[in-house]
Amino acid sequence: MGDAISPWPPREESLFLRFQPVFTAQGRVHEYAVAGSLMPARDGGPGLLSQRARLRATAAFAAQFSIPIDFSFEHALAAPDDTDLARRLCADLDIGLIRDLLCFGAPDALTAPRLSGQRLVFDLPLFRRLSPHATALAGYTEFRASLRTRLLPASCGGKFVPGGSLRVEGLTVRIPRGLGSDRALQRRFLCLMGCAASARLTLVADAIDDMHDFVWLRRQDGLLFRGTALSAPLSAQCLEVWLRADGDAWRSFNACIARPGWTDRPPPGN
């Protein structure tokens, strides 16, 4: 499945991995986006070896828990027009499918942690082969859209295809700072939302760095949210403590929800 690397990332790579919560409009955690590492890449840059190490570290992190955890993982997939995108993704990240499980390296590496394909969303570039709406979505250049895609089992002639197939489920857009006060940009965003809705794609508003932008975005229906205005990326150690403390209730965490009666209290000093 590509260039050989060590079976699993060194411990320090797992420790320095970071995860950023993706929230619903109600303030609940929908998933954790793999936000990269605090440690410089061993190969000198954000290349395939670093991507593989991050994904493997994510699987190793998830394997610590008995509860299912959902993740998203961005990958700048590049492929010629005649390339099978699912196979190229597998080759890039040194992964394969056994039924609905993602395996890393050799499929017979039974001791390696595996990750359910249903628990991982890949954020991939806008390929027309993945979505007939890709060309229209690419026209909204200021939002730098990408496709939320799952790698799922596929069969041919009754036999499972090793690379599986890719299914598009949503769209990630990066929010330009100042959206909350820019009427022209807001109109463009609403048009983009309409395009995503017609394609039945769930929309994630990413890179929200200004709370004023979030206030405007939150008025729109059906969005998911990610950005430093809501939460900084969490270290693996921090997230581990959180998950072990909360257990199955990790999704029920509510961000910025006032307690009953708070709105009735007079301001301090009155």
- Name 146's bridge partners: 172
pLDDT of residue 113: 75
Does residue 251 surpass a pLDDT of 80? Answer: no
Quote the pLDDT of residue 16: 77
d(C-alpha 57, C-alpha 34), whole Å: 10
The neighbour count for residue 259, using CB atoms within 10 Å, is 7
Domains recognised in the chain with CATH numbers: 12-248 (3.20.20)
Residue predicted with more confidence, 162 or 194: 194
Structure tokens at 37: 């590492």
- Residue that wins the pLDDT comparison between 262 and 92: 92
Please tell me the predicted confidence (pLDDT) of residue 33: 98
Backbone angles phi, psi at 2, to 5 degrees: 110, -165
What's residue 260's pLDDT?
A: 46
Instruction: Kindly state the helix (H) or strand (E) to which residue 244 belongs, with its residue range.
Output: helix 236-246
CB 103 within 8 A of CB 114: yes
DSSP at 198? H
Around Cβ 77, how many Cβ atoms within 10 Å?
Answer: 21
- The percent of the chain in helix, strand and coil, each rounded to the nearest 5, is 30, 25, 45
Is 216 within 8 Å of 183 (Cβ atoms)? no
Task: Dump pLDDT digits (tens) for 6-42.
Answer: 444 545 556 679 999 999 998 899 999 999 766 555 5
Instruction: Give the list of residues 6+ apart from residue 4 with CB closer than 8 angstroms, or none.
Output: none
pLDDT of residue 255: 59
Pull the structure tokens for residue 223: 């969005």
User: How do residues 209-244 score in pLDDT, each as one tens digit?
Assistant: 999 999 999 999 999 999 999 999 999 989 988 888
Strand partners of residue 203: 171, 223
- Does the pLDDT at position 64 exceed 70? yes
Q: Quickly count: other Cβ atoms within 10 Å of residue 6's Cβ.
A: 11
86 contacts: CB under 8 Å, gap ≥ 6: 151, 154, 161, 163, 164, 165, 166
3-state secondary structure of 120: strand
User: How far, in whole angstroms, is CA 216 from its chain's centroid?
Assistant: 23
Q: What is the pLDDT of residue 163?
A: 77
Listed range (63-77, 103-117, 156-170) with the worst mean pLDDT: 103-117
